[in-house]
Structure 1
Amino acid sequence: MSAEQPRWGKVAAFSPGMAEIPHLAALLGADEVRFRPSRYEASGFDAVVGWGNKPTAEPAIAYAREHDLPYWRVEDGFLRSVGLGRGGAAPLSVVLDDRGIYYDARTPSRLEAILAGDEPCSALLDDPAFLTRADRALQRILAARLSKYNDAPPRSVGELLGERVRKRVLVVDQTQGDLSITHGLADVERFGAMLDAAMCEHAEAEILVKVHPDVVAGHRRGCVPRVLNSARVRVLAEHVNPVELLREVDHVYVVTSQLGFEALLTRTPVTTFGAPFYAGWGLSDDRAAPERRTRKRTLVQAFAAAYLLYPRYLDPETGERGSIEQVIDHLSRQRAMFEENRGTIFCFGFRPWKRGYVRDYLRSPGNRVVFARSAAHAESQGCDEQTSALLVWGQRAREDVAALAERHALPVWRMEDGFLRSVGLGSDFVTPASLVVDKAGVYYDPRTPSALEKLLAEHAFSDAERERARALREAIVSAGVSKYNVGQRQPLAVPEGARVVLVPGQVEDDASIALGCPGICSNEDLLRAARVAAPDAHIVYKPHPDVLAGNRQGQVSDPVDRGLCDQLEDQASLADCLAAAHEVHTLTSLVGFEALLRGLPVTVHGQPFYAGWGLTADREPVPRRRRRLRLDELVAGALILYPRYLHPETHAFTTPEAILAALQRARAEHPESAPLKTPWPRRQLRKLGHIARGLLDAC
């Protein structure tokens, strides 16, 4: 049940900024949004919307009044985005209000009516199941340290503030001109009164005045008067995570800032000097709350009203109507990746057209990603002991980078393609939808444990992770998706009744063969071994797509005529080959993993990441891999927990499920990317196009 907000057909809008909001119709619950319609179109609208109480909403109000249409105010929700709206970050939640707007206490808003018990959905505030859902969402928000904008650089607020030797009180400044001040029954003078009260009521405490970053930069003016004659007052200008900051203080003073409500969520006492939406319900010490707010609400009830009943959410992965849980998932994922990417990262050996997407995968507020030509160049750009890491592609060895890492005691991270990559080949410069950043090694080098191997060996997989992996595995198989998704979708023609053994070829100078094949290490020798192991089988040899494309080495001459295989398959997709196979023999190819997804027996003649866990027949065992894994635990580790996924449209960190859907769409929309034997001129043009896009993204 929602806050009884209607589903609309067509909605009229006039605020210029609203036209820039992606998926606005889905956020509003409308089929269509028309901007600045004529008066002749009025009869076709169900409602008119405008942005808050801003002057830009006045044409919308006038249009609604003239044509007797319902008018709804729109504002950002309280879990909005990663980044500010003026920085281009699109909202993931909005509130709709046909009574007023939550920050305007001069008249009751829809949120106030919900809290007062005057809306039909108010009954949910006494529903135990609904409140359990709300409390679960609240705890997840606190655990992930989420707030409205979620763009604070990952940093330790405790280290920034230093040791707490006495009580600490936070006084929250706001910028002059903020409508929530005057509409919240306050003025600039209230900020001085608030500071005086905080200092008087906490005479021994350290007073932190949190000012807006725009004030520090000189772009806007704050409201709290400067206090220069007290050693107890400290101005905090740094952009920090609100939840982390609130956990470092004992009391919070606000006029109307939302930070006051976020303080309540952390169970920190709050004193208000204006009339924010959360004042007057018995949750805070209020010096100016409206007298009409007489009902008492619990913190979970207030949270449920403001975060579940009042807003509408967008599913960040699909652009369709969503839920608070989906937005929490999304924002938590971004924050987790920001923590992984914090600090300064120096990258070596990346071609210019790769740098745009590499930077996206390393994104974090306030971090620094530097592409260095050499170790000397890196040091000239500030690489020292304070650097977070050095990043290289795969196992490419560079003596100067190794020496740099040793000189400054820095970790070396390794980046590689993920296992659900793209529609098209990496050697054709197609942007990857997934990458891995391994901080221990790299998954195809069995000489030392990679982060993936450690995860598979040590992680305590939950039932939820196994179930998610099972669903993902079944969806991948059903969709026929693989790493590169090239080749034409067509049933593989094999002799009826034959036992089919699929042998996938590899790029013979690939690092996974050089590092992971202590025995046989060529496609021809692999075919011979498969023939010895299955002399009566129908052996299908599928060359690697990079070899077929002419981009890499590994060709086997006339394998059928020489009796190495019974069938050379260079057109059908990998999914169709696996569908016809009864067994797979491989060196280290990911095809072995994809065969496991489909329940096929796999014999490995090398040491790939998926060998050694009791799921494959291993000709070259890895002695240290002693744990026995279930298939879905291997899938959870390799496809869910280990890689990074980047949404191709939003460039936000996303899920393998979202990438699976995106790959299916891309394959359907661009069937020309699938054929393996594209004419050479067309392939070169396609490569140039991918390079050009990469260079543009890198700018």
Structure 2
Amino acid sequence: MTHSASVAGGIRALPASVFAYGFSFRKRAIVRRFIGNVTVRFIRAGHAKYLPSGSALLLWGSHPLPAGLTSDVQVIRMEDGFLRSVGLGADLIHPVSWVIDQRGIYYDATQPSDLEYLLQTSEFTDELLERAYSLRRRIVENGLTKYNVGSGNWQRPSLAKRVILVPGQVETDASIQFGAPGIVSNMGLLQAVRAANPDAYVVYKPHPDVVAGLRAKGQGERTARQWCDEVVMDIAMGEILPAVDEVHVLTSLAGFEALLRDKPVTCYGQPFYAGWGLTKDVIPVARRTRHLSLHALVAGTLILYPIYISRSVASGFTTPEQALDELLAWRAATPKRMPWWRKVLRMGLLLALRIVGSKR
């Protein structure tokens, strides 16, 4: 017997019961919401070897397989979705979207994922493509992105003929480890972009987790101004994307968000949206042989693949369109200045990160 985990896509049929490993206490309640009526049992380190034959194990992201796990246990991975929240996950902001993947995970280009399989094999009906068109239009018109953070304004230099945005990433992020077989650092990317585009106006935007101090800066990050014309910090991605001409990325989701806005995207890594004929790919993904329309990519990525839940605990699963409504209302109700209690929480998180880092 299987149980659907999504009312929107219905593409994943989870077993009636699963085990889960490596989830913090904070995430456990969220896991239960995203898997619906599936029974979950959280296990400790060392217990994986006792899992029954044929059982299923949930892991977060690219978390390593626990010791002793036998090959007949199905591994299922969970991760943030692409329209996540108003605020950073590293700030412990609850999500409205996660993904559940039974083949791999979308940012791991070393193996297929459910998303790649969907994009490679799905039949995208006219009805689904129209739905994707409407969803994309609303996202762009309202300037929505994954985290919806940043309060500053940015103005394109009046004399700049060609502006290239280079979004930074957290260099320890799994999407670089598993999705960037060439360049693996922000400064390496920035140098490559500058070398290939000596006359362009290059704007570098560090990752918001790094700007917030919740993740470490990349190697040589302080030298960024040697390779770009401007570094922007507290600017919303939805604010700056419409004003640039191109976006060059390693594996950043900003590349997908740029495609939504009809911006040319060059990929130096192998993100999930590369390889479908919509991007310029420095290192192509040989498995991806299909050419997709932008709205087919949107349909697979934002409608079929993720799971959405309402912010209202009583409401449960929802659709991407309804999640969009909630994100807009959430953003409208969020003060531009961080409230004092969240500043205190962030200070506590920073202290905890320093303590953990000092013990490594």
Normalising to structure 2: TM-score of the pair? Answer: 0.89
Corresponding residue to 1:360 among 30, 33, 42: 33
Corresponding residue to 2:343 among 683, 686, 695: 683
Q: Which residue of 1 aligns with 2:211?
A: 548
Counterpart contact for 1:473–1:597, Cα < 8 Å: yes
Q: Displacement of 1:579 after TM fit?
A: 1.3
Counterpart contact for 1:502–1:584, Cα < 8 Å: yes
1:418-437 per-residue CA deviation (whole Å, 9 max, x = no partner) reads: 00000111111111110000
Q: Which residue of 1 aligns with 2:356?
A: none
Q: Displacement of 1:537 after TM fit?
A: 1.1
Q: Match of 2:212, as an amino acid?
A: A
The answer as to 2:23 corresponding to 1:350 is yes
The answer as to 2:245 corresponding to 1:574 is no
Normalising to structure 1: TM-score of the pair? Answer: 0.47
Q: Displacement of 1:551 after TM fit?
A: 1.2
* Deviation beyond 4 Å, 4+ runs, structure 1: 334-337, 686-689
Counterpart contact for 1:433–1:647, Cα < 8 Å: yes
The Cα RMSD (Å) is 2.4
1:196-218 per-residue CA deviation (whole Å, 9 max, x = no partner) reads: xxxxxxxxxxxxxxxxxxxxxxx
Alignment of 1:250-399 (within 5 A): 333=7, 336=10, 340-364=13-37, 367-376=38-47, 379=50, 383-385=51-53, 387=55, 389-399=56-66
Report 1 or 2 for greater relative contact order, CA contacts < 8 Å, sequence distance ≥ 6: 2
Q: Could you tell me which runs of 5 or more consecutive residues in structure 1 were left unpaired when the two chains were aligned.
A: 1-152, 156-330, 690-699
Q: Displacement of 1:559 after TM fit?
A: 1.9
Mark the CA change 1:386 to 1:537 in structure 2 (over 3 Å): closer, same or farther.
closer
Q: Displacement of 1:343 after TM fit?
A: 1.5
Counterpart contact for 2:79–2:100, Cα < 8 Å: yes
1:201-254 per-residue CA deviation (whole Å, 9 max, x = no partner) reads: xxxxxxxxxxxxxxxxxxxxxxxxxxxxxxxxxxxxxxxxxxxxxxxxxxxxxx
2: CA distance, partners of 1:618 / 1:386: 39
1: CA distance, partners of 2:217 / 2:118: 32
Q: Match of 2:39, as an amino acid?
A: R
Counterpart contact for 2:182–2:268, Cα < 8 Å: yes
Q: Displacement of 1:536 after TM fit?
A: 1.1
Q: Which residue of 2 aligns with 1:149?
A: none
Corresponding residue to 2:73 among 410, 414, 417: 410
2: CA distance, partners of 1:633 / 1:154: 28
The answer as to 2:98 corresponding to 1:446 is no
Q: Which residue of 1 aligns with 2:357?
A: none
2: CA distance, partners of 1:335 / 1:481: 21
Q: Which residue of 1 aligns with 2:352?
A: none
Q: Match of 1:352, as an amino acid?
A: F
SS of structure 2 residue aligned to 1:346: strand
Q: Displacement of 1:393 after TM fit?
A: 0.7
Q: Match of 1:396, as an amino acid?
A: H
Q: Which residue of 1 aligns with 2:136?
A: 473
Q: Which residue of 2 aligns with 1:316?
A: none
Mark the CA change 1:369 to 1:537 in structure 2 (over 3 Å): closer, same or farther.
same
Alignment of 1:64-463 (within 5 A): 333=7, 336=10, 340-364=13-37, 367-376=38-47, 379=50, 383-385=51-53, 387=55, 389-400=56-67, 403-406=68-71, 409-463=72-126
SS of structure 2 residue aligned to 1:637: helix
2: CA distance, partners of 1:594 / 1:685: 29
1:234-290 per-residue CA deviation (whole Å, 9 max, x = no partner) reads: xxxxxxxxxxxxxxxxxxxxxxxxxxxxxxxxxxxxxxxxxxxxxxxxxxxxxxxxx
Mark the CA change 1:568 to 1:359 in structure 2 (over 3 Å): closer, same or farther.
same
1:386-413 per-residue CA deviation (whole Å, 9 max, x = no partner) reads: 63x101011111342xx3242xx12100
Counterpart contact for 1:427–1:546, Cα < 8 Å: yes
1: CA distance, partners of 2:172 / 2:31: 24
2: CA distance, partners of 1:474 / 1:429: 29
Mark the CA change 1:463 to 1:336 in structure 2 (over 3 Å): closer, same or farther.
closer
Q: Which residue of 2 aligns with 1:592?
A: 255
Q: Match of 1:348, as an amino acid?
A: Y
Q: Displacement of 1:638 after TM fit?
A: 0.4
1: CA distance, partners of 2:25 / 2:301: 29
Q: Displacement of 1:384 after TM fit?
A: 1.0
Counterpart contact for 1:334–1:652, Cα < 8 Å: no
Mark the CA change 1:514 to 1:335 in structure 2 (over 3 Å): closer, same or farther.
closer
Q: Which residue of 2 aligns with 1:251?
A: none
2: CA distance, partners of 1:334 / 1:591: 24
Mark the CA change 1:466 to 1:603 in structure 2 (over 3 Å): closer, same or farther.
same
2: CA distance, partners of 1:399 / 1:361: 22
1: CA distance, partners of 2:19 / 2:170: 29
1: CA distance, partners of 2:331 / 2:347: 17
SS of structure 1 residue aligned to 2:181: coil
SS of structure 2 residue aligned to 1:353: helix
1: CA distance, partners of 2:66 / 2:336: 42
Mark the CA change 1:386 to 1:514 in structure 2 (over 3 Å): closer, same or farther.
closer
Q: Which residue of 2 aligns with 1:664?
A: 328
Counterpart contact for 2:8–2:319, Cα < 8 Å: no
Corresponding residue to 2:224 among 559, 582, 597: 559
Q: Displacement of 1:385 after TM fit?
A: 2.7
Mark the CA change 1:416 to 1:682 in structure 2 (over 3 Å): closer, same or farther.
closer
Counterpart contact for 1:341–1:363, Cα < 8 Å: no
Counterpart contact for 2:83–2:96, Cα < 8 Å: yes
How many residue pairs are counted as aligned between the two chains?
A: 345
1: CA distance, partners of 2:53 / 2:203: 53
Q: Match of 2:268, as an amino acid?
A: H
2: CA distance, partners of 1:341 / 1:655: 19
Q: Displacement of 1:686 after TM fit?
A: 5.5
Q: Displacement of 1:491 after TM fit?
A: 4.1
Q: Displacement of 1:558 after TM fit?
A: 4.1
Q: Match of 2:322, as an amino acid?
A: A
Q: For the pair shown, which has the larger CA radius of gyration, 1 or 2? A: 1
Counterpart contact for 1:547–1:554, Cα < 8 Å: yes
1:168-206 per-residue CA deviation (whole Å, 9 max, x = no partner) reads: xxxxxxxxxxxxxxxxxxxxxxxxxxxxxxxxxxxxxxx
Mark the CA change 1:433 to 1:442 in structure 2 (over 3 Å): closer, same or farther.
same
Corresponding residue to 1:536 among 199, 215, 233: 199
Counterpart contact for 1:523–1:554, Cα < 8 Å: no
Mark the CA change 1:332 to 1:627 in structure 2 (over 3 Å): closer, same or farther.
closer
1: CA distance, partners of 2:91 / 2:272: 25
2: CA distance, partners of 1:576 / 1:437: 30
Corresponding residue to 1:501 among 146, 151, 164: 164
SS of structure 1 residue aligned to 2:213: coil
2: CA distance, partners of 1:334 / 1:458: 18
Q: Displacement of 1:535 after TM fit?
A: 1.2
SS of structure 1 residue aligned to 2:31: helix
Mark the CA change 1:378 to 1:645 in structure 2 (over 3 Å): closer, same or farther.
farther
SS of structure 2 residue aligned to 1:392: strand
2: CA distance, partners of 1:600 / 1:423: 24
2: CA distance, partners of 1:682 / 1:437: 29
Mark the CA change 1:404 to 1:332 in structure 2 (over 3 Å): closer, same or farther.
closer
1: CA distance, partners of 2:179 / 2:8: 34
1: CA distance, partners of 2:6 / 2:195: 51
SS of structure 1 residue aligned to 2:204: strand
